[in-house]
Chains A and B, each alone.
Chain A
Amino acid sequence: MNNKLDLDQKLISLCRNYTKSIADKVEKKIVNNTTTSVERTVLRFLGVDGVDEHGIPLPNVIVDKVRNEQKLNKGISYWFGNGLIQTGLPAQRLAEEISEGKIDLFSLPKEKNKDIIEFILEISEKKSEQIKQQVKKREMMQSKYPLGLKPWLYVIVATGNINEDVKQAKAAAREGADIIAVIRSTAQSLLDYVPYGPTTEGFGGTYATQANFKIMRDALDQVIEEEKRYIQLVNYCSGLAMPEIAQMGAEERLDMMLNDAMYGILFRDINMKRTFVDQHFSRMINAYAGIIINTGEDNYLTTADSLEESHTVLASQFINQELGLRTGLKNEQLGLGHAFEINPEIKDSFLLEIAQAQLVRQIFPDAPLKYMPPTKYMNGDIFKGHLMDGMFNFASIITDQSIQLLGMLTEAIHTPFIQDRALSIENAKHVFNSARNISSEITFNSNGKIQKRADQVLKETAELLKVIAKKGLMQSLSEGIFADIKRPIDGGKGADGVIKKDIDYFNPFAEVFSKELEIKDER
């Protein structure tokens, strides 16, 4: 791509330097901690699934038992690994016996630390091999049934019933959607566990469960064969069970995950340390599983003023990129988010949108940018809304965006009807097709409004990053630097799930993934 806006490259490197120092400080704060959800994820990887007689997931039952004894700081793999060695049982059976009270992990004889680690590493390597198989399967399918042209058409299904979701997803895929996201049930992000099994009831969405992931994956694989086009599946790797959802997605070959470093802190009031530790491990899993993550900067614009807060979006993208790269994600996996949310009544609002979209495109040339549609100024006038969605699609094709979350003309009225989705796909297909090569035809006036706006946003971003680098990210978040939302450093949900690591703490999967992803030893 030509360097179209003339951007101050020195200022961009300055931003990256600030961001590195921001990420260094965050890492220092998280490196000595693990969380209950990280430990549950380890158990799930080791093969523990299912629920007890009260419906509580077994990974929760076991991790809570160890935590209640104040013994989680060695890592669950120490206790569970020793259990596997001593009993000779398969992981699931052992978990059931622990849950039923037949086996007490603490009263078993203890193997040497070194031997437990060796034993559990061997299992972990085998398990990791299975995930690699899923990556290979994806690559194989995508070479046989190629992905559609970018911007990819991304639509949402949200019926609450996985079987109904399947119908709507298949219809949308056949209409031309490239990406299907299954919206989660309201407030699943605040559940400190992952629900179990297929689900047919949800509020405003469908529960993310491993069984639901599998049902949708199988359905889409069938459509892929028939339509000869690869359809990507998305879910939400956020909230208190973030790394567990990453594990489920890795095993069931999801292709994308919403996975922001700060979303939970800002919009779900989840504790900062908890979020940063969870996002780190969950991103390692996503990196290893070849999953594209989507970050959530678009949300800043829906809550705060989109015109005045543009630089906070860019600043957050720099931070999300740096934190992401440090977990082994490649730039090609960083679906940095932004949105088309400027008040359409403002004169030249479209030019301002182009400025931001082009700016982000040039600063992150390899990232599959995720572009979110207008929602804030959608008011029930479906005709105007459909036009605004068309303008949004036009901005996207002009600036080479990658992941296009399609706007719905019925935004702010109801979750999409089947025809709403079809109309939005038709809208995007029409705009993209009729202006397919427009970006290579366009240059920007070097004294024009677009160039000036881009310069201004970049400058403000550098100033903001400088401040954050000085204060630290956690302090900055507590002062309401993003989206006007203030969160206390030690407040928020899930703080009690943050556990200090012992000197001989061990997480076999972090170990295997780090090695293969060539992440520097974090300790």
Chain B
Amino acid sequence: MKDNIIRAYGDTYNDGKIQLSFTFPVKQGLKAAEACKRYCFKLGLEDVEVVHMKDLKEGFTFFVVYAVSKESVNLDKITVAKIDTEIMDYYKINDYIKEKINRKINVVGACTGTDAHTVGLDAILNMKGYDGEYGLERYHEINTVNMGSQVANEKLIETAVKIKADAILVSQVVTQKNIHIKNLTEFVEILEAEGLRDQFILILGGPRISHELALELGFDAGFGSGTKPNEVASYIVQKVYKDSILVKGGE
């Protein structure tokens, strides 16, 4: 195999070794172990070893599996769109707003449509934040409105207009059924139809969101899992500043 085509690495190049763990709704026993193996074969895995099996009671069994996957990816065929603003910390961001923008930044966020998963939204917005980084609510230079889950697109836009939002954060768990994609497209379409699209920085976040997908859907930026609040805040404040210079026609 060429160096640009890769597989998972265990201890030998391109051996394809992976580990996984999951639970089956079945009582522990030989049958459970065999079911686990067959399931892994169906997932396209080979050399399946069920190294650990634990009875979780109430008819559930937990498995730890090592196996080999022959699938590979070609690095040459991958291009990733990147957000290229500088990442600042909590203090720097507040200072940046005070010094360069000289007014508070308004941000509204929601999980839209039927989505009830607020973990990601809260990680970015809640005071507590995520992985030791404070959320946007904690920033004294940012007014944050967290609308929570299952917010209709119209309601979110209405609120954004009301609070004169600089940025709208949409958090979404994209499922295979793609209903969420449709909802996201609709969101951008409403903004465009009402002539509001250029008033806001549109940010999309979620575990399966990439910057590229966000751009494709008409957002300004996309953030995937592991994103820290300061990364989002850094992007927002620099974009607000940049846009303000554009409007003024340069400093």
Q: Give the one of B54, B127, B226 with max A CB within 10 A.
A: B127
Write out, one digit per residue, whether chain A residues 312-356 have a CB within 8 A of any chain B CB (1) or not (0): 000000000000000000000000000000010000000000000
B116 touches A204 (CB 8 A): yes
Find residues 21-70 in chain B having any chain A CB closer than 8 Å to their own CB: 21-23, 54, 56-58, 60, 62
Docked Cα-Cα span, A302 to B54, in Å, equals: 33
Query: A303 contacts which of B23, B127, B131 (Cβ < 8 Å)?
Result: B127
Q: Does B94 contact A (CB under 8 A)?
A: no
B149 touches A203 (CB 8 A): yes
Q: Does B244 contact A (CB under 8 A)?
A: no
Q: Does B199 contact A (CB under 8 A)?
A: no
Shortest distance between the CB of B150 and any CB in chain A (Å): 7
Find residues 216-233 in chain B having any chain A CB closer than 8 Å to their own CB: 225-226
Which residue on chain B has the smallest CB distance to residue A302? Answer: B128
Chain A residues with Cβ below 8 Å from B195 are none
Q: Does B119 contact A (CB under 8 A)?
A: yes
Docked Cα-Cα span, A412 to B123, in Å, equals: 8
B56 touches A418 (CB 8 A): yes
Shortest distance between the CB of B195 and any CB in chain A (Å): 33
Docked Cα-Cα span, A415 to B150, in Å, equals: 17
Find residues 78-121 in chain B having any chain A CB closer than 8 Å to their own CB: 116, 118-119
Shortest distance between the CB of B138 and any CB in chain A (Å): 7
Docked Cα-Cα span, A470 to B23, in Å, equals: 57
A418 touches B128 (CB 8 A): no
Write out, one digit per residue, whether chain A residues 279-311 have a CB within 8 A of any chain B CB (1) or not (0): 000000000000000000000001100000000
A379 touches B226 (CB 8 A): yes
B226 touches A380 (CB 8 A): yes
A414 touches B58 (CB 8 A): no
Chain B residues with Cβ below 8 Å from A175 are 56-57
Shortest distance between the CB of B110 and any CB in chain A (Å): 13
B123 touches A170 (CB 8 A): no
Chain A residues with Cβ below 8 Å from B249 are none
B60 touches A379 (CB 8 A): no
Chain A residues with Cβ below 8 Å from B250 are none
Docked Cα-Cα span, A413 to B131, in Å, equals: 11
B116 touches A203 (CB 8 A): yes
Shortest distance between the CB of A225 and any CB in chain B (Å): 15
Q: Does A67 contact B (CB under 8 A)?
A: no
Docked Cα-Cα span, A90 to B128, in Å, equals: 49
Docked Cα-Cα span, A303 to B229, in Å, equals: 14
A303 touches B116 (CB 8 A): no
Q: In the complex where A203-B150, A380-B226 touch, is A170 in contact with B23 (Cβ < 8 A)? A: no
A171 touches B150 (CB 8 A): no
Chain A residues with Cβ below 8 Å from B225 are 380
Which residue on chain A has the smallest CB distance to residue B62? Answer: A419
Docked Cα-Cα span, A199 to B145, in Å, equals: 29
B119 touches A174 (CB 8 A): no
Docked Cα-Cα span, A256 to B248, in Å, equals: 60
Chain A residues with Cβ below 8 Å from B130 are 379, 412
Which residue on chain B has the smallest CB distance to residue A483? Answer: B127
Q: Does A20 contact B (CB under 8 A)?
A: no
Chain A residues with Cβ below 8 Å from B150 are 203
Q: In the complex where A203-B116, A303-B138, A412-B119 touch, is A419 in contact with B56 (Cβ < 8 A)? A: yes
Query: B132 contacts which of A167, A343, A483 (Cβ < 8 Å)?
Result: A343
Shortest distance between the CB of A487 and any CB in chain B (Å): 13
Find residues 201-216 in chain A having any chain B CB closer than 8 Å to their own CB: 203-204
A171 touches B56 (CB 8 A): yes
Find residues 197-251 in chain B having any chain A CB closer than 8 Å to their own CB: 225-226
Q: In the complex where A175-B56, A412-B123 touch, is A419 in contact with B131 (Cβ < 8 A)? A: no
Q: Does A376 contact B (CB under 8 A)?
A: yes
Chain A residues with Cβ below 8 Å from B118 are 186, 203-204
Shortest distance between the CB of B205 and any CB in chain A (Å): 14
Which residue on chain A has the smallest CB distance to residue B207? Answer: A413
Q: Does A157 contact B (CB under 8 A)?
A: no
Shortest distance between the CB of B125 and any CB in chain A (Å): 13
Shortest distance between the CB of A110 and any CB in chain B (Å): 47
Query: A422 contacts which of B54, B116, B129 (Cβ < 8 Å)?
Result: B54
Shortest distance between the CB of B94 and any CB in chain A (Å): 14
Chain B residues with Cβ below 8 Å from A191 are none
Q: In the complex where A302-B128, A412-B119 touch, is A419 in contact with B57 (Cβ < 8 A)? A: no
A186 touches B60 (CB 8 A): no
Query: A417 contacts which of B23, B116, B128, B138 (Cβ < 8 Å)?
Result: B23
Shortest distance between the CB of A301 and any CB in chain B (Å): 9
B119 touches A414 (CB 8 A): yes
Shortest distance between the CB of A24 and any CB in chain B (Å): 31
Which residue on chain B has the smallest CB distance to residue A345? Answer: B132
Chain B residues with Cβ below 8 Å from A377 are 131-132
Chain A residues with Cβ below 8 Å from B119 are 412-415
Docked Cα-Cα span, A203 to B116, in Å, equals: 6
Which residue on chain B has the smallest CB distance to residue A426? Answer: B54
Shortest distance between the CB of A175 and any CB in chain B (Å): 6
B226 touches A418 (CB 8 A): no
Find residues 137-157 in chain B having any chain A CB closer than 8 Å to their own CB: 138, 148-150
B128 touches A376 (CB 8 A): yes
Q: Does A378 contact B (CB under 8 A)?
A: yes
Q: Give the one of B60, B119, B128, B148 with max A CB within 10 A.
A: B128
Q: Does A187 contact B (CB under 8 A)?
A: yes
Chain B residues with Cβ below 8 Å from A343 are 132
Shortest distance between the CB of A481 and any CB in chain B (Å): 16
A418 touches B60 (CB 8 A): yes
Find residues 238-297 in chain A having any chain B CB closer than 8 Å to their own CB: none
A167 touches B58 (CB 8 A): yes
B58 touches A170 (CB 8 A): yes
Docked Cα-Cα span, A167 to B60, in Å, equals: 10
A419 touches B23 (CB 8 A): yes
Write out, one digit per residue, whether chain B residues 1-35 have a CB within 8 A of any chain A CB (1) or not (0): 00000000000000000000111000000000000
Chain B residues with Cβ below 8 Å from A485 are 127
Q: What are 19 A-B contacts defined by CB distance under 8 Å?
A: A170-B58, A171-B57, A175-B56, A203-B118, A203-B149, A203-B150, A302-B128, A303-B138, A376-B131, A377-B131, A379-B130, A379-B226, A412-B131, A415-B119, A418-B60, A418-B62, A419-B54, A419-B62, A483-B127
Q: Which 3 A-B pairs have the closest CB atoms?
A: A379-B131, A174-B57, A171-B58
Task: List 10 additional A-B contacts (Cβ < 8 Å) besides A343-B132, A413-B119.
Answer: A171-B56, A174-B57, A186-B148, A203-B150, A303-B138, A377-B132, A380-B131, A380-B225, A412-B131, A418-B62
